[in-house]
Structure 1
């Protein structure tokens, strides 16, 4: 199995990987074309690799396309699991739309910049001044109901399996749960409803490398988002398991089989939506 990686860090534990600098991929076209898999390309390479050279990539094309923008991601979640998505309003950033969203949601609520990660670009809106500050920074309005939680779950899926799942306890700012923003790891039991939801979403949408953020409210799981390139802080000593899961998945589909096609979904686990 010939593997070419554009991210040396994330494929460090995989055997026999050929690393190519992303900016040199066309100069090393022969190496790229000979590969069975292209691993962790940059987003700007996707068109050339998938549609131009017809290469198989990991993470999957849906992982890139949906993971690149919270708006696309949320709309996909709403389509397949509407009762597991917090109330979310997506509008153009115009005065009329801003006023309508402000009147529709009860403060406090959450507003996000569509392309952001690690808790950056996430705002707690408590006053109209907060709202105006957010509007000045975002190209599109993405506003979501505030869930009464002090923690959430990070569920890491690689290939077709859960590699890691842990609680993220709220940071001292009273809002962010991200480890990059001061959140802490909790050791409470992981609810089956949360892992079932993450697997359902990943398999139905064709997501094969992601950290899903799931909130539990009264025993009911809500999906907040997923990160295609999730942080490794919470993995502890599970890096080898992550690499093993990745390698097993690539081997499984390296010959004449193709990974799950999201156009013809076959969910791993049924879930009430």
Structure 2
């Protein structure tokens, strides 16, 4: 299996991988065209790699498109799992759009920038002054109900299985759980089955095959907050190695499933859940 990678860190440890800097893509068209897999292209490369060179990419196109911003993501979640999606309002940043949200969403609520990550660009809106400060930073208003939680879950899915998961406890600000914002890892408390099942269900229905899902539990019920296509691998010892091995197994399995000698009557194996 010969692969080209545009992300040296995320493919470290995978065999037969040639790393190419994304900005050098046009110098290596033949190598990209001949590769069995093109791994972790940047979003701006997708048109050229997928449609220009007919490359086969990992993560999937669905992973890129659904994960492109929180607006796309929330609409996809609401389509396939409305009962597990927090109430979300999305409006243009106009006076009428802002008023529609304030008239419907009870304070406090959460506001986010559509393309922020790692806990950045997230506001807890307690007052109209908070709301106006948020509005000054965005063209699109994204408001979501506040959930009464002091922790959430990071569930990592690669291919068709859960690779790992852990609780993230709130950081110093009493609001954000992201590790980059002071959140702390709890790797000992068991992961609820309902959270893992929700992550797998979303991944399967949406065609997402490399994601760190953020899931909140409220009275035993899971709510999906978002997922990150390029999630951090520092939550638990050995997590990076687990993810790398899962990617390798998935790519090999996909190649095997494309083998014309495979028996088409062979049943598809069930999804695996292993943490």
1:59 corresponds to: 59
Matches within 5 A, 1:112-131: 112-131=112-131
1:262 corresponds to: none
Which has the larger displacement, 209-218 or 158-167?
158-167
SS at match of 1:32: helix
1:41 corresponds to: 41
SS at match of 1:15: coil
Query: Is the aligned partner of 1:165 residue 2:162?
Result: no
Q: Displacement of 1:52 after TM fit?
A: 1.6
Question: For each residue in 1:72-111, what CA deviation from the matched residue of structure 2 results, as whole angstroms up to 9, or x when unmatched?
Answer: 0110000000000000001111000101101111100000
SS at match of 1:156: strand
Query: Is the aligned partner of 1:31 residue 2:34?
Result: no
Query: Is the aligned partner of 1:211 residue 2:227?
Result: no
Structure 2: segments with no counterpart, 5+ residues: 260-267
SS at match of 2:137: coil
Distance 1:96 1:45 in 2: 37
2:17 corresponds to: 17
2:106 corresponds to: 106
1:192 corresponds to: 193
Q: Displacement of 1:189 after TM fit?
A: 1.0
1:257 corresponds to: 258
Distance 2:189 2:39 in 1: 34
After the TM superposition, which segments of 4 or more aligned residues of structure 1 sit over 2 Å from their partners? 254-258
Distance 1:189 1:250 in 2: 29
Q: Displacement of 1:235 after TM fit?
A: 3.2
2:262 corresponds to: none
RMSD: 1.4
Answer whether contact 2:157 2:212 (CA < 8 A) is retained. Answer: yes
Q: Displacement of 1:239 after TM fit?
A: 2.0
Q: Displacement of 1:242 after TM fit?
A: 1.2
Q: TM-score, normalised by structure 1?
A: 0.93
Question: For each residue in 1:208-248, what CA deviation from the matched residue of structure 2 results, as whole angstroms up to 9, or x when unmatched?
Answer: 10000000000000000000000112032122221111001
1:239 corresponds to: 240
Aligned length: 261
1:221 corresponds to: 222
Structure 1: segments with no counterpart, 5+ residues: 259-265
SS at match of 2:162: strand
Distance 1:256 1:26 in 2: 31
Q: Displacement of 1:254 after TM fit?
A: 2.2
Matches within 5 A, 1:168-187: 168-186=168-186, 187=188
Q: TM-score, normalised by structure 2?
A: 0.92
Q: Displacement of 1:255 after TM fit?
A: 5.3
Answer whether contact 2:5 2:11 (CA < 8 A) is retained. Answer: yes
1:8 corresponds to: 8
Distance 1:163 1:233 in 2: 14
Which has the larger displacement, 107-116 or 248-257?
248-257
